[in-house]
Amino acid sequence: MAATPTFEEAIGLTAEPIAVFDGDARLHLANPAFETAMRPIGGYLSRGTAWAMILSEAERKGLLGEGDAMALRMIEERYLDRPAAQPEVRVTRADGRVARAVLSRVSGDGFALSLREPEDRADTVAESQLEEIMSKVLQACPTCLTMSRIGDGRVLYRSPAAADLLGKGFNGLAHFAHRGERADFLTALLPAARVDDMRITARDADGETFPASISARLIDYRGEDVIVASIDDLSDRLAADAEIERQKKRLFLLEKMSALGEVLSGIAHELNNPLSVVVGNAHLLLEEEIDDGLRPRIEKITAAAERCVGIVRAFLSMARERPLDLETRSAADLLGSAADAFGASDRSDGVDLSISVASGLPDLLVDEIQVVQVFVNILSNAAQAMAEAGTGRRIAATAEPAPSGVRFRIADDGPGVPEDIRDRIFDPFFTTKDPGEGTGIGLALCHRIIAAHGGSMELEPPGRATGASFVVDLPCVPGGGDPAGA
């Protein structure tokens, strides 16, 4: 007959220290784990030793505190059948670890003492509260947080803000718009298990890309490498930075123009009188009986001096504060007159000019002649640039509502303005044209006229389309309608 497995054998196998006492409160059996844990009183752990003796020896050897020994005696007397009512009792094991002593009823009126892992009630409460706090914080947190497996990118957790920004896809890899950037991110993350403020192009829930900054930590979660990352949408910040940069440039340009203007107008005034002497005398000389060999030279001097006079006049007319003759005009009137004047010039040959004016634009208070001159200048520049480069033939002039009035945009599909001269084209006398072809005063004059109207003028940053695009903002008649057309 096969032997029946015994209760003793089973207890002997468990890792939990257990001692069983009989109905007379005498030791029946202590398993090896109990003997190890209570080694200092090993001599007392033989069958038949009284419970009270074991307690007092354990107290003497420092395994039990005085209060704990008393508590165990009381539990044995009163609470064996009510385990939930047992006060907590601590035992210091031979190895110095603290265990929780639990008494349980066993059959035959006996009981068992087991030593369990301490369960710190205070910590447990704190931990469950902490869990609640964590989950509340994560739900309310406006940060875009994700937790994803490094191996396959599977998203394990995302904060509500992350779901809003990045959608609810399963794969964290999809948050990177470019594979190369994700590779760079992992390369940076793996060695130090952290990445701070790395610039990436992220992809949002609708598949649109946006500039972002990612910070991440690599952690171990249930034995797997997991990335905890926060992603910041930088679109607004970058747009604000760009706007500040643009305003700085505009201010710089204004200051530069006024400083240059002052110097140049001084020079122009000084040159005016001696130049008229040169031109006048050159003309007089030509009327004299002179050697035929000299005549071509004098003619050259006359022509060159006249060009100087032209330049000085052009500049003086720009530098002079011409009072504005303000009238109420519509954007359509202004662009129409500019198109007529441009069409009448031979520069417009072969140019395809289109005009589109949004409806409901507010009226503008302008000096029509001067503003039309600005538009004609921009159109002529575009036509010249296209003719010279042999590329492009279209110019589109548009007018649309702007925050404080009307925004005009004149864009061509020609060669565009090279990056290295973008900052200089508004400078007086800056030109890329051959001598005699242009004075470089056109855009400087335009800028001045628009500024005098309280507006602004600039070359748009290069976009996707080729060509140059000039934007002119003019304020509307004060109190004369709602600029935004709302």
Ligand X SMILES: Nc1ncnc2c1ncn2[C@@H]1O[C@H](COP(=O)(O)OP(=O)(O)OP(=O)(O)O)[C@@H](O)[C@H]1O
State the residues that interact with ligand X by CB under 6 A: 381-382, 385, 412, 414-417, 425, 430-433, 438-444, 468
Nearer to ligand X, 71 or 425 (CB): 425
Should residue 456 be labelled a site residue for Mg ion when binding is judged by CB under 5 A?
no
Name the minimum Å distance from CB 155 to ligand X: 49
Task: For strands 364-366 and 394-402, give the pairing.
Answer: unpaired
Please report whether residue 439 would count as binding Mg ion according to CB under 5 A.
no
Query: Which residue lies nearer to ligand X by CB, 86 or 439?
Result: 439
**Pick 405 or 442: Cβ nearer Mg ion:** 442
Is residue 442 at the binding interface for Mg ion, with CB under 5 A as the rule?
Answer: yes
Tokens for 312?
A: 């000085």
Please state, in angstroms and rounded to a whole number, the distance separating the CA atoms of residues 129 and 278: 95
Reported as type and span, the H/E element at residue 74 is: helix 66-74
**Residue 441 contact, options Mg ion, ligand X, none, Cβ 5-8 Å cut-off depending on partner type:** ligand X
Closer of 34 and 470 to ligand X (Cβ): 470
At residue 59, what is the residue type? E
Of 363 and 423, CB closest to Mg ion: 423
First to last CA, the chain: 100
> What's the order of all strands across the beta sheet hosting 18-21?
27-30, 18-21, 111-116, 98-105, 90-92
Q: How far is CA 331 from the centre of its chain?
A: 37
Which of Mg ion, ligand X, none sits in contact with 433, Cβ below 5 to 8 A by type? ligand X
Residue (103 or 468) nearer to ligand X, CB: 468
Residue closer to ligand X by CB (options 288, 434) is 434
Using alpha carbons, select from 70, 158, 138, 80 the residue that is nearest to residue 112. Answer: 80
Q: How many residues bind Mg ion (CB under 5 A)?
A: 2
Collapsing DSSP states into helix, strand and coil, what is residue 201? strand
Q: How far is the CB of 458 from Mg ion (least distance, A)?
A: 16
Torsion of the alpha carbons at 333, 334, 337 and 342, rounded to the nearest 10:
-150
The distance of closest approach from Cβ of residue 430 to ligand X in the complex, given in angstroms and rounded to an integer, is: 6
In the complex, minimum distance from the CB of residue 184 to Mg ion, in angstroms, rounded to a whole number: 46
Q: Would you state the torsion angle of the CA atoms of residues 119, 125, 131, 133, taken in this order, to the nearest 10 degrees?
A: -160
User: Which does residue 336 bind out of Mg ion, ligand X, none, counting CB within 5 to 8 angstroms by kind?
Assistant: none
For Mg ion, the nearest residue by Cβ is 442
Q: Does 381 bind Mg ion (CB under 5 A)?
A: yes
Distance CA 389, CA 350 (A): 14
Contact partners, residue 477, CB within 8 Å, separation at least 6 = 328, 362, 363, 364, 365
Q: Smallest gap, in angstroms, from Cβ of residue 264 to ligand X?
A: 14
Which residues here bind Mg ion, judged by CB under 5 A? 381, 442
